Structure 1
Amino acid sequence: MTTSRGARLVRQVGAGVGEAVLATVVAVVVVAVGLIAFSLVQWPAFNSSNVVRALTTVGQVGAAALIAGSIALLRSRRSRRLAKLLSWTGISAFVTVTLGMPLAATKLYLFGISVDQEFRTEYLTRLTDSAALRDMTYADLPPFYPAGWFWLGGRVANLLGMDGWEVFKPYAIGSIAVAAVVSLVLWTRLIRADWAVGVTSAVTAVAVTYAAPEAYGAVIAILLPPVLVMAWGALYRPAELTRTTAKTEDAPSGDPTAGGWAAVVGTGLFLGIAAACYTLYFAFAVFTVVLMAVVAAGLGLRARYAARTPRRIAAHTGESHAPVGSAGQAIGAPLLRLIVMGVIAALVALPVFLPFLIRMLDRPKLQSGGAFHYLPEAGSELPMPMAHFSLLGALCLVGVIWLVMRASSSRRAQSLGLGVLAVYLWSLLSMLATAAGSTLLSFRLEPVLLVLLAAAGGFGFVEGARAVYQALNEPARFRWVAIVLATVGALAYCQDIPHVLAPEITTAYTDTDGDGNRADQRDPSAVRHYRNIDNELRAQTGREPSQNVVLTGDTTFLAYYPYFGFQGMTSHYANPLADYADRSAAIEAWSEKATPDELLDAMNAAPWRAPDAFLFRRSGDEYTLRLAADVYPNDPNVKRYTVAFPAKLFDDPRFTTTDIGPFTLVVVKR
């Protein structure tokens, strides 16, 4: 790499990072102002009134106006800085109002503390209690699931002086807004600025609809389309294979670049962040980038083969100059860039995974947590959103048409098309893996497919409208027709987002929060007793929550308070180092002991840290807790069963028993 190219690399990366930081600051301010403003009013619950839905629509129209103003300024080439500010503000305001306004009357995020949101909240609570990388449930174990998003959320909670469960909503909304504006910064460095605003808006709207419940996944999904375009630009460099390159709209000749190395750095950073936040999306991104490298190498070899005759050169490249370099260079160039991306990604992600890797060296044989043991109906068939009769289906169909039409001439279409192809290949591999007793969780890639097709659909609409405009001899009113059509479609789609998310929003109102309240003003669940349980545990043990291990089937208690659990909610989210099945077997064996002495001896003989307390439900003369077993390939893939401990097992001075609501708290005196 020459000195001038290195200087350009530093300038490009530095400028991009600097602009991303500014956009992040704007997004954080917009989200903070919006959520604080929403909290100042006592709103009715979403599931019992349409007031917040109406105000959400008003807010979306206001955000759309800011975005439209930004596009208008960019197209007129006036006030570029103001246009950027309007675009960042508009997109982050859209995320804030679309998610924040429907949830304004509850402290909980989408899905409340139910289903998978329980373990996510537990993880955030754990990393709010301490910055140390620790497993979400088990004491003395490093984390297995990527801690990046949750660790940063824990630092935000500490800064704001909030509990983990309480910070979840504002942090999730804020992180999605930040990802959206950073995605816009990436797009503006790859394509025309006005197009960048439009396509980012489309991708963000789709991601908010279908990826927002899994906020740490939404952050990666929003960034993926521009990153794939960037990665393709890094891996496929036809200018380096020929003395002259055909001019295309996506790759204009003569622009000073860093030879694609800025894109290499950017892709590596993204892969590292993805690895630190979400393993599945990271694996898919690596799969797609490797596929791109293979295709790039194949195209390079094809260019060498086509160079055997001038006619083939012209047909293949549009130029009359022969490719330069050897066939080895055609393969070696993308391979080298792929390796550099991998090194950068490893350096970024290593701090998150290093504690687990070090501990794994002591236990090379791990007990599988069954994370891939899930096959819902959506995972048994290929997703075909373009075949659905809806606004999103129409946008996806336009995207498919554009990908096919522009596959040979647009680098954007090539990169997004390879991403779509990778989703379908991954889905087929996931279905094939069922024969081996596992899956690749392909159903979780549906949001990724939707954002890729949404980006393609945005480009397809713009280019299609331009083609029709030219075919009709450029009528003066046609541009306004296209603008009105796009505006009507966008607003119709956006105002329907709360309806699509209605089950997730409703759960946030029907679940009981950490303060013991239900946002819909109905009677709270047994969760309202958790605060008293926490007080008793602190008083009786004399220790902080993070110094105690609690065995309970009510694992939502661990989501609100940072106690360690003796057993997790299911094997699918359990640390492979935790011996989930063996722990469950030990719990069942303990319940069958005849005396307190036998129970204490068995607990002390266990290879894991014994519980400091038990949190049971009462049932006659027994104390019960519910456990879970993996029953894949059945759907549902989890079987719940009850383990009952005779109350007489704890009739001993070495145990302190306290009844709190429907619970019985048993503390082991140590």
Structure 2
Amino acid sequence: MGRQVGAGIGEAVLATVVAVLVVALGLAAFSLVNWPAFNSSNVLRALTTVGQVGAAVLLAVSIALFRLRRARRWAKLLSWAGISAFVTVTLGLPLAATKLYLFGISVDQEFRTEYLTRLTDSAALRDMTYADLPPFYPAGWFWLGGRVANVLGMDGWEVFKPYAIGSIAVAAVVSLVLWSRLIRADWAVGVTAAITAVGVTYAAPEAYGAVIAILIPPVLVMAWGALYRPAELTLRTAAVSDGNENPAAAEAAGATAARDSGAAGLSGAATAGGWAAVLGTGLFLGLAATFYTLYFAFAVFAVVLMAVFAAGLGVRACYAARTPRRIAVQQGDAGQPVGGIGRAIGSPLLRLVVMGVVTALVGLPVFVPFLLRMLDNPKLESGGAFHYLPEAGSELPLPMAEFSLLGGLCLVGVIWLVLRASSSRRAQSLGLGVIAVYLWSLLSMLATVAGSTLLSFRLEPVLLVLLAAAGAFGFVEGARAVYQALNEPARFRWVAIVLATVGALAYCQNIAHVLAPEITTAYTDTDGDGNRADQRDPAAVRHYHHIDDALRAQTGREPSENVLLTGDTTFLAYYPYFGFQGLTSHYANPLADYADRSAAIEGWSELETPQELLDAMAAAPWRAPDAFLFRRSGDDYTLRLAADVYPNDPNVRRYTVTFPAAVFDDPRFTTTDIGPFSLVVVKR
């Protein structure tokens, strides 16, 4: 097991280095040219297509070398370079003329950028918005991004784009390394390419989620190899029923299962007994816990489902064996007799427990500060993050029923999953993953009765990558079956290759169309330098650096030492000031008393004198604002707040709170007008 894990980690590290170099060189090259905006010109779209063809050529050459069994080291290098180059050109070129990532600083990207800015300012685990609170949302991806920003000397908002693209590329090559240890190397390149293309299309806007989504398919195959090991149970049961166990037959059957699963190095019966796969699954689950809570919860759900199926199949095999008793007696690894049914249930349960221990060791450090603070605070707002039910969350996703290239690939995947369900461990593991998505979706819909959801609509990218993997296997095995059925015509292989190439390029060319709204927003939003990449007039964000200068000068403190009350929460995405109130309750820390804070702000707006306001701020149970950033409305100041109105869709109601200017007419406040803003600093 040590050799397997060490070799796998070593190869993953080398692949990561290659991916980082490809992304760094690619993005640096893109930045050397003054490109036209993607949303007003087709130049970047054309170059993206050229780049995708180049990446496809690298992948094709690597597949050819693997099949010819030549220059395997060069084949690996080309496959890593090809996958990372595909991610780089598909995401980097359309965004080459802007410093912002997909969705700019709008919608959910605002709070993500705020989180990255917070953890760029300091490596300490702190809440993205609120002072003196540990983070509730997993900090793993953002913490690593903060360290990248520190190394490169960049602001959080500026590092978001290269870091997001780089992390997706790294996840793709690590997925390729894992697949190559589970299945044939040439197949590994093809299935990873399919998963990466679909993941970039539908998961890339949520970059930290895309990293996990791309890794889920191979991890589920690995987890199934760890949990369901029929060669260790079924064959021994059959041998005992004959009264003469045949170790050679058991080992041969184990090798057959390993070849089918492709996991000779991770789940083969004659290698590490599946414990390397146990460790690998636990490490992935721990990583997922530190990156994305929803995907972590789903992955745990899927793995537990696998354990239940593995135990059930093991029990069934024991009863199916022809024994003189209902319970077969087997010879254990230590030479002690072990009950067949007990082993069938106990083996996957033990492996599941070990996975859980590894997961906890990796993931808990990120959550310990929050858990400790939660124990000290009996008042905990909960459920807000789950209060969202768009139309997509009220229906089962059925991509295989859509008339498109992706729909066709998913349909092929479904057919393959059904046909191979009893004979392929790959099909079993991916099929259980698909089942887990649909069960989660149904549970999410059922949870609406209790006034919440499980956010099942966010699992659609996971479903798509699972079906894309199945579709890639289905295409290869289906083409081979047709080839044999047609008496192996000489040109048929070229027909299959051309068909796969045309379909892949047609799909890849369409990725930019699917991501067009996200790309356009990256060009229409104003970046931290006060510029719009489409060369139009920038928004009020252009005044933010003047506001930052004024705050530093008037408070005499660094941004992270100040608490700011503002409705323009995008300011917090560019500068690491703490906010007195967050964007919405759905992204607010449950320890922050979001509703009570909003009520307090509304109460402050109704006060009439500066002293009343100062007294009310001093009496609040939270750290009071050091400054206010308002919008002017006549002689008054306004800021916008948000309220949770679930189950309505949209689930957020925006409303305006107005403060009379007279309440700040006091020497203890300093008021500065900057563009459409009024900055009020409390003298302390």
TM-score by length of 1: 0.96
Name the structure 2 match of 1:422: 436
1:294-353 C-alpha deviation (Å, 9 max, x unpaired): 00000000001101369x99xxxxxxxxx9742111101000000000000000011100
Letter of the 1:116 counterpart: D
Letter of the 2:354 counterpart: V
Matched position secondary structure for 1:146: coil
Matched position secondary structure for 1:285: helix
Letter of the 1:120 counterpart: R
Cα distance between partner residues in 2 of 1:366 and 1:657? 36
Name the structure 1 match of 2:145: 153
Matched position secondary structure for 1:107: coil
Cα distance between partner residues in 1 of 2:507 and 2:100? 25
Mapped pair 1:286 → 2:278: no
Aligned length in residues: 652
Matched position secondary structure for 1:168: helix
Letter of the 2:271 counterpart: T
Aligned mate of 2:574, from 543, 546, 560: 560
Q: CA deviation at 1:621?
A: 1.3
Name the structure 1 match of 2:30: 38
Aligned mate of 2:530, from 508, 516, 520: 516
Cα distance between partner residues in 2 of 1:188 and 1:126? 38
Cα distance between partner residues in 2 of 1:324 and 1:345? 29
Cα distance between partner residues in 1 of 2:289 and 2:269? 33
1:79-105 C-alpha deviation (Å, 9 max, x unpaired): 000000000000000000000000000
1:87-134 C-alpha deviation (Å, 9 max, x unpaired): 000000000000000000000000000000000000000000000000
Cα distance between partner residues in 1 of 2:65 and 2:490? 20
Mapped pair 1:48 → 2:40: yes
Cα distance between partner residues in 1 of 2:338 and 2:381? 52
**What pairs with 1:53-452 in structure 2 (closer than 5 Å)?**
53-241=45-233, 242-243=235-236, 244-245=249-250, 246=253, 247-248=256-257, 249-251=259-261, 256-308=270-322, 325-368=339-382, 370-452=384-466
Aligned mate of 1:625, from 639, 645, 651: 639
Distance 1:488 1:526, change over 3 A: same
Cα distance between partner residues in 1 of 2:25 and 2:270? 40
Q: Is the 8 A contact 1:126 1:562 kept in 2?
A: yes
Moved more, 260-269 or 364-373: 364-373
Matched position secondary structure for 2:654: strand
Q: Is the 8 A contact 2:175 2:218 kept in 1?
A: yes
Cα distance between partner residues in 2 of 1:465 and 1:179? 29
Letter of the 1:82 counterpart: W
Q: Is the 8 A contact 2:183 2:261 kept in 1?
A: no
1:421-463 C-alpha deviation (Å, 9 max, x unpaired): 0000000000000011000000000000000000000000000
Q: CA deviation at 1:558?
A: 0.1
Q: CA deviation at 1:368?
A: 2.1
Moved more, 134-143 or 236-245: 236-245
Cα distance between partner residues in 1 of 2:383 and 2:126? 17
Cα distance between partner residues in 2 of 1:103 and 1:10? 42
Q: CA deviation at 1:387?
A: 0.3
Matched position secondary structure for 1:495: helix
Cα distance between partner residues in 1 of 2:572 and 2:261? 53
Name the structure 2 match of 1:13: 5
Cα distance between partner residues in 2 of 1:391 and 1:539? 57
Q: CA deviation at 1:364?
A: 3.0
Unaligned runs of 5+ residues in structure 1 are: 1-8, 314-322
Name the structure 2 match of 1:320: none
Cα distance between partner residues in 1 of 2:271 and 2:435? 29
Q: CA deviation at 1:256?
A: 3.8
Name the structure 2 match of 1:598: 612
Cα distance between partner residues in 2 of 1:14 and 1:287? 28
Mapped pair 1:537 → 2:529: no
Letter of the 2:188 counterpart: A
1:497-548 C-alpha deviation (Å, 9 max, x unpaired): 0010000000000000000000000000000000000000000000000000
Cα distance between partner residues in 2 of 1:206 and 1:409? 27
Q: CA deviation at 1:251?
A: 4.8
Mapped pair 1:612 → 2:633: no
Cα distance between partner residues in 2 of 1:164 and 1:328? 53
Cα distance between partner residues in 2 of 1:172 and 1:521? 24
Distance 1:617 1:103, change over 3 A: same
Any runs of at least 4 consecutive aligned residues in structure 1 with deviations exceeding 3 A, and if so which? 251-256
Name the structure 1 match of 2:245: none
Cα distance between partner residues in 2 of 1:122 and 1:297? 45
Q: Is the 8 A contact 2:126 2:132 kept in 1?
A: yes
Identity of aligned residues (%): 87
Letter of the 1:613 counterpart: A
Q: Is the 8 A contact 2:231 2:269 kept in 1?
A: no
Q: CA deviation at 1:363?
A: 1.1
Name the structure 2 match of 1:480: 494
* C-alpha RMSD of the superposition: 1.4
Q: Is the 8 A contact 1:369 1:575 kept in 2?
A: no
Matched position secondary structure for 1:250: helix
Name the structure 2 match of 1:319: none
Cα distance between partner residues in 2 of 1:364 and 1:658? 40
Cα distance between partner residues in 2 of 1:170 and 1:280? 24
Letter of the 1:459 counterpart: F
Q: CA deviation at 1:72?
A: 0.2
Q: Is the 8 A contact 1:369 1:580 kept in 2?
A: no
Cα distance between partner residues in 1 of 2:499 and 2:378? 59
Matched position secondary structure for 1:645: strand
Q: CA deviation at 1:400?
A: 0.1
Unaligned runs of 5+ residues in structure 2 are: 237-248, 328-336
Q: Is the 8 A contact 2:304 2:352 kept in 1?
A: yes
Letter of the 1:250 counterpart: D
Letter of the 2:654 counterpart: R
Name the structure 1 match of 2:334: none
Cα distance between partner residues in 2 of 1:325 and 1:346? 30
Q: CA deviation at 1:250?
A: 1.1
Q: Is the 8 A contact 1:369 1:571 kept in 2?
A: no
1:120-169 C-alpha deviation (Å, 9 max, x unpaired): 00000000000000000000000000000000000000000000000000
Cα distance between partner residues in 2 of 1:293 and 1:302? 14
Q: Is the 8 A contact 2:671 2:679 kept in 1?
A: yes
Cα distance between partner residues in 2 of 1:636 and 1:31? 37
Cα distance between partner residues in 1 of 2:513 and 2:421? 35
Letter of the 2:182 counterpart: L
Matched position secondary structure for 1:133: coil
